[in-house]
């Protein structure tokens, strides 16, 4: 199941207007045409410092976007960009120059410009034209691929002369009149460019190695090198066109200060010819793509050679330690008591064997999707469990089946009916008369196919369509394995199996009101069938001669109601027969458990607390002590005389909010059931639970550990005292749901991320009990998804629904940091942002941006855990800045994993399912105490020839 986000902002039109297209075109036409290896460094069509220009084009496939981002500008989107007229955009402060006419329109097939030196092959460039050219490495134009070039020896003198002329021109005629302006997404970076002369000189020395497929032409004594063997045009005509281009480029640069500065940055950052994305040295950036959009990642200073970084599996691993929750809300016959003293039940993809007295758990984890049904063999050792049929992350179906396994060893003994059961296995039952030789299965298909299987041979004995109505339960007659009973919506059926064929008889209600649902049934000691229905009655069924008047001549015996017993208000959800012949019934609205004698006389009753819901199923531990599963996903233990206490509890609706205590083994959860729960991780139990008016989506503990803030779906957020569970503060920010709460490391600030695109900042005083509005971070164009504080408590890194990464100076007035590269070496107190250089490797190829719901770095900063949309928990090394990084993958959840969090000492990892309402607690094992931060820097420094030590 995929997490659904609100509609993401369509920003392609905004991106296209952030940069003057005509300016970009002319910059392309005067830039150097390098080989495919060096031209990939920077993109003219995909991004200018992180702002995509054509990624939003619906006609451009992802591989074309990637090519354009790497410098290949032959795509339709690039051609479209070149043809757009000049536009005025306030965000880049580009205005037409009143002194010079606009000469943006250039001949599309002009081949007269030498891509390296800016002059004609065999021609002399006029001085006035030389002074107006600026070489912009990486912004290549499609037309330059066909231009003629001189070989390196023949043009060296002219190139060096042009370089010095260009430097003097840029510094004297252009730079003085230009003002740096940064765009919202950092398109106009405020990094200081290095000397353009050094880059130009190094570029000219590599002409021959970067010129691509070349052919040579002999002209007198001079060898001319050119591309695509295109004929040279008239020299005077070429010179005239060159003068025109030179004037136009200077004109546009004067009008576009941000592009001129970007050009100087590109010159200063030009890398080695063989690098795909430039040299990964100080000040360099790389890009990743999500849904075709390029996202700029700035490489930290201690990374000397990005290409040589090795991504390895983390030494740490996860072992499932505890499962919180129980699937009682929509399950039936899903709780049994074993002779080992264990209760067996399921939630998500895990079957839990919980030892009642020792308070320990074992787990059967062989299922690949949510477990839906359970049956206990007559030997009280073997267990059958059936799962749903789902799909994997690639959309391929996961086949449903039944596992028969040993509850002592947790070894799978048989796998029944793989691929046979459509949609899943709804109900299961072992035969009793023949010591469990057969297994009856009803699937969740429209026809609810009823099948019987030989357990020893793992073969199907018979199969028949049951009914199009819902089926709730199936059982073999304990005295005859050829008789099977099913019940469900408006029916109870009595099946007879003979010679591999089924015959069916429907129970006749006769004079009694036909209930809407037959919820459950059980067998009395005399062989009678007892059913519980939605009217609150227990009906006793028996065989009788057919009523010829009603059914006609030749009618055989029928099953009719022999007795009706009023039992509960609302539905009778469960019936359980005890060894002495007594009967237990569990009610709906009245929440009562009633003990009946063998002749259905009420003997004792009790009522379970309202907060646990109604009775779903009952399992007898002995003649006195009972286990009760409830509709609010709790398992109770108790007796009629002493009452019942919960031994298993959980949420009953989708969960998103998860936070761990800063100094104790406590964690907090909240979800759509409006419950806020505090759990004790070491004791494996619920400490307390409070109910709110709205449902919670996010939470965080104050660093002193005395309070916790919970963000709700209405824009309201509350602060709870951990000891008293009282609301000590309450605020409202906007009217949309809140997605993240995060305290600064010193506890002086609280950041509240909202779906209204803002981050609200509060001053925190009185040890987390008083909150006053400090400011608001305004700059995201989509809803906030994740945020983190720097270790010094001054800065915030935030992600949004449209895959933005922004940085904020909080004490400086919640100011947006325009130059995102300034934050590349900043250390973060936590790392939960799913986008960033240090976690690039967690994304799978082809991800759509919502595939990862949450991640969390360990406090030791050695590993990072990831929650994805495909029911998996991943464990990566941290940092993992390279795509396709390896990870350990863990199953258990049956729905999208919404959140993950490490405990305060990294001893455990907590993961939270969405619809499966399951919390899994994983023990972190293995690993050692080396510092992963140092590993990344050392790995980079040892793989580079640079003499400079990596920055700390």
274-301 residues labelled b (16+ CB within 10 A) or e (exposed): ebbbbbbbbbbbbbbbbbbbbbbbbbbb
- What pLDDT shows up at residue 545? 72
Lowest mean pLDDT among 176-180, 642-646, 816-820, 928-932: 176-180
pTM of the predicted structure, to 2 decimals: 0.70
- Looking at residue 736, what is its pLDDT? 96
Rounded CA separation 877/935 (Å): 11
Residue 839 in tokens: 């976690």
Average pLDDT over residues 520-543: 92
Task: Give the residue, 327 or 929, on which the prediction is more confident.
Answer: 327
Round the average pLDDT of the chain to a whole number and report it: 75
The Cα angle at residue 911 between residues 905 and 916, in degrees rounded to 5:
155
pLDDT of residue 554: 52
* Rounded (to 5) percent helix, strand, coil in the chain: 15, 35, 45
Q: Which residue has the higher pLDDT, 115 or 629?
A: 629
More confident residue, 876 or 242: 876
Strands (E), 220-355: 222-226, 285-290, 293-298, 316-324, 335-337, 342-347, 350-355
User: Which pLDDT value is given to residue 575?
Assistant: 95
| Among candidate residues 428, 418, 332, the one with its CA nearest the CA of residue 367 | 418
pLDDT in tens, 780-833: 999 999 999 999 999 999 999 999 999 999 999 999 999 999 999 999 999 999
pLDDT recorded at residue 885: 94
Give pLDDT, residue 178: 36
Q: What is the pLDDT of residue 550?
A: 57
**How much is the pLDDT for 431?**
96
Contact between 459 and 436 (Cβ < 8 Å): no
pLDDT number for residue 357: 94
- 592 pLDDT higher than 60: yes
Q: Which residue has the higher pLDDT, 225 or 674?
A: 674
CA gyration radius, the chain: 36
Beta strands in 545-684 (DSSP E): 558-566, 572-577, 583-587, 592-596, 602-607, 615-620, 626-630, 635-639, 643-648, 655-660, 666-671, 675-680
pLDDT band at 551 (very low <50, low <70, confident <90, very high): low
For residue 358, with 0-12 CB atoms within 10 Å meaning exposed, 13-18 middle and 19 or more buried, which class applies? exposed
pLDDT of residue 567: 95
Cα angle 584, 586, 591 (rounded to 5 degrees) comes to 140
Question: For 327-383, what is each residue's pLDDT tens digit?
Answer: 999 888 899 999 999 999 999 999 999 999 999 999 999 999 999 999 999 999 999
Distance of CA 667 to the CA centre of its chain: 21
Is pLDDT above 80 for 910?
yes
Hey, which of 83-87, 140-144, 397-401, 455-459 has the most confident mean pLDDT?
A: 455-459
In this prediction, residue 269 has a pLDDT band, given cuts at 50, 70 and 90, of: very low
927: pLDDT confidence band, cut at 50, 70 and 90? confident
CB distance 710 to 692 below 8 Å: yes
- pLDDT value at position 391? 75
The better pLDDT of the pair 558, 47 is held by: 558
**Least confident window among 267-276, 427-436, 506-515, 798-807:** 267-276
For residue 114, pLDDT over 80 is answered with no
Long-range contacts from 939-948, C-beta under 8 angstroms, 24+ separation: 939/308, 939/309, 939/310, 940/302, 940/303, 940/304, 940/305, 940/306, 940/308, 940/309, 941/302, 941/304, 943/304, 943/305, 943/308, 943/309, 944/304, 944/305, 944/308, 946/281, 946/304, 948/304
Average pLDDT (213-223) is 33
Copy the structure tokens of residue 351: 């079957």
Pull the structure tokens for residue 664. Answer: 């104790």
Average pLDDT over residues 463-477: 95
Percent of the chain with pLDDT over 90: 58
CA–CA separation, 43 and 295 (whole Å): 13
pLDDT at 589: 87
In the predicted model, is pLDDT for residue 98 greater than 60? no
The residue among 312 and 279 whose pLDDT is bigger is 312
Query: How much is the pLDDT for 239?
Result: 55
**Confidence (pLDDT) at 507:** 93
Whether the pLDDT of residue 58 is over 60: the answer is no
**Lowest mean per-residue pLDDT among 5-9, 384-388, 922-926:** 5-9
Q: Considering only 153-162, 266-275, 360-369, 471-480, which range has the smallest mean pLDDT?
A: 266-275
Q: What is the pLDDT of residue 860?
A: 95
Tell me the per-residue pLDDT of 407-465, one tens digit each, with 9 for 90 and over.
999 999 999 999 899 999 999 999 999 989 999 999 999 999 999 999 989 999 999 99
Q: Is the pLDDT of residue 86 over 50?
A: no
pLDDT at 56 over 70: no
- As a whole number of angstroms, the distance between CA 407 and CA 63 comes to 51
The CA-based dihedral angle spanning residues 27, 33, 34, 38, taken in that order and rounded to the nearest 10 degrees: 20
> What percentage of residues in the chain have a pLDDT greater than 70?
66
pLDDT exceeds cutoff 90 at 21: no
Q: Is 46 a residue whose pLDDT tops 90?
A: no
Residue 912 or residue 173, greater confidence: 912
Q: Is the pLDDT of residue 733 over 80?
A: yes
pLDDT value at position 48? 34
Out of 66-80, 108-122, 415-429, give the one with best mean pLDDT.
415-429
Confidence of residue 719 (pLDDT cuts 50, 70, 90): very high
CB 158 within 8 A of CB 235: no
pLDDT at 887: 96
Three-state DSSP state, 489: strand
Q: Indicate if the pLDDT at residue 87 is higher than 80.
A: no
552 band by pLDDT with thresholds 50, 70 and 90: low
């Amino acid at each position: 199941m995929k997490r659904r986000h609100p509609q993401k902002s369509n920003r392609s039109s905004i991106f296209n207007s952030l940069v003057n297209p005509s300016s970009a075109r002319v910059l392309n036409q005067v830039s150097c045409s390098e080989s495919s290896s060096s031209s990939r460094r920077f993109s003219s069509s995909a991004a200018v410092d992180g702002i995509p220009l054509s990624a939003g084009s619906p006609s451009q496939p992802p591989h074309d976007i990637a090519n354009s981002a790497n410098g290949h500008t032959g795509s339709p989107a690039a051609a479209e960009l070149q043809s757009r007229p000049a536009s005025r955009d306030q965000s880049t402060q580009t205005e037409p120059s009143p002194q010079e006419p606009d000469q943006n329109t250039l001949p599309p097939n002009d081949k007269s410009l030498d891509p390296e030196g800016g002059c004609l092959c065999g021609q002399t460039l006029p001085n006035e034209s030389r002074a107006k050219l600026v070489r912009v490495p990486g912004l290549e134009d499609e037309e330059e691929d066909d231009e003629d070039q001189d070989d390196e020896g023949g043009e060296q003198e002219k190139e060096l002369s042009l370089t010095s002329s260009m430097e003097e021109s840029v510094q004297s005629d252009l730079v003085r009149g230009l003002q740096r302006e940064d765009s919202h997404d950092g398109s106009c970076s405020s990094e200081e460019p290095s000397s353009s002369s050094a880059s130009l000189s190094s570029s000219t020395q590599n002409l021959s190695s970067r010129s691509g497929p070349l052919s040579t032409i002999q002209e007198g004594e001079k060898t001319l090198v050119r591309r695509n063997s295109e004929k040279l045009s008239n020299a005077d005509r070429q010179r005239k066109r060159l003068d025109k281009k030179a004037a136009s480029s200077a004109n546009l640069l004067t009008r576009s200060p941000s592009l001129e500065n970007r050009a100087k940055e590109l010159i200063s950052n030009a890398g080695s010819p063989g690098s795909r994305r430039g040299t990964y040295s100080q000040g360099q950036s790389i890009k990743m793509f999500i849904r075709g959009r390029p996202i700029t990642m700035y490489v930290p200073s201690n990374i000397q050679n990005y290409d040589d970084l090795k991504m390895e599996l983390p030494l740490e691993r996860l072992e499932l330690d505890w499962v919180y929750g129980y699937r009682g809300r929509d399950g039936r016959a899903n709780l049994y008591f074993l002779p080992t003293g264990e209760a067996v039940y399921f939630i998500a993809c895990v079957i839990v064997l919980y030892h009642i007295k020792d308070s320990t758990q074992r787990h059967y984890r062989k299922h690949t999707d949510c477990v839906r049904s359970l049956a206990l063999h007559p030997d009280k050792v073997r267990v059958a469990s059936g799962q749903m049929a789902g799909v994997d992350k690639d959309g391929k179906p996961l086949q449903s089946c039944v596992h028969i396994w040993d509850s002592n060893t947790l070894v799978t003994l048989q796998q029944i009916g793989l691929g046979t059961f459509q949609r899943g296995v709804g109900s299961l039952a072992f035969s009793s008369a023949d010591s469990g030789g057969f297994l009856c299965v009803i699937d969740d298909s429209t026809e609810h196919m009823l099948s019987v299987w030989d357990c020893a041979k793992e073969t199907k004995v018979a199969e028949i369509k049951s009914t199009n109505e819902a089926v709730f339960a199936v059982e073999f007659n304990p005295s005859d394995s050829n008789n099977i009973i099913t019940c469900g919506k408006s029916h109870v059926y009595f099946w007879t199996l003979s010679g591999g064929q089924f015959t069916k008889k429907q129970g006749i209600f006769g004079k009694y009101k036909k209930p809407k649902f037959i919820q459950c049934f059980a067998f009395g000691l005399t062989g009678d069938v007892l059913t519980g229905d939605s009217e609150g009655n227990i009906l006793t069924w028996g065989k009788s001669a057919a009523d010829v008047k009603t059914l006609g001549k030749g009618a055989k015996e029928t099953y009719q109601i022999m007795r009706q017993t009023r039992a509960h208000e609302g539905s009778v959800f469960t019936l359980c027969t005890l060894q002495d012949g007594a009967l237990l019934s569990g009610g709906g609205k009245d929440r009562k458990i009633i003990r009946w004698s063998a002749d259905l006389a009420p003997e004792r009753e009790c009522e379970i607390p309202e907060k646990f819901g109604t009775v779903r199923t009952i399992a007898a531990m002995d003649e006195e002590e009972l286990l009760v599963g409830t509709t609010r996903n709790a398992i109770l233990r108790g007796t009629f005389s002493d009452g019942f206490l919960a031994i298993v509890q959980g949420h009953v609706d989708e969960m998103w909010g998860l936070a761990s205590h800063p100094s104790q083994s406590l964690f907090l959860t909240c979800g759509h059931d409006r419950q806020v729960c505090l759990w004790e991780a070491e004791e494996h139990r619920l400490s307390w639970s409070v109910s709110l008016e709205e449902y919670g989506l996010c939470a965080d503990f104050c660093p002193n550990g005395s309070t916790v803030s919970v963000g709700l779906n209405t824009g309201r957020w509350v602060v709870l005292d951990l000891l008293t569970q009282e609301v000590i503060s309450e605020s409202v920010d906007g009217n949309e749901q809140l997605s993240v709460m995060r305290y600064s490391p010193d506890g002086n600030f609280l950041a509240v991320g909202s779906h209204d695109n803002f981050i609200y900042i509060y001053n925190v005083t009185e040890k987390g009990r008083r909150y006053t509005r400090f400011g608001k971070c305004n700059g995201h164009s989509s809803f906030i998804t994740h945020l983190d504080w720097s270790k010094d408590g001054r800065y915030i890194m935030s992600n949004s629904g449209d895959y933005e990464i922004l940085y904020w100076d909080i004490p400086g007035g919640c100011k947006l940091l325009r130059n995102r590269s300034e934050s590349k070496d900043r250390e973060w107190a936590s790392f939960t942002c799913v986008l960033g250089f240090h976690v690039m490797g967690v994304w799978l190829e082809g991800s759509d941006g919502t595939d990862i719901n949450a991640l969390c770095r360990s406090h030791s900063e050695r590993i990072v855990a990831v929650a994805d949309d495909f029911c998996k928990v991943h464990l990566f090394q941290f940092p993992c800045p390279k795509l396709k990084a390896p990870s350990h993958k863990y199953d258990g959840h049956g729905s999208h994993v919404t959140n993950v969090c490490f405990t305060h000492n990294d001893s455990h990892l907590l993961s939270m399912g969405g619809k499966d309402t399951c919390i899994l607690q994983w023990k972190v094992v293995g690993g050692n105490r080396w510092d992963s931060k140092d590993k990344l820097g050392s790995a980079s420094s040892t793989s580079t020839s640079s003499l400079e030590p990596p920055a700390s």
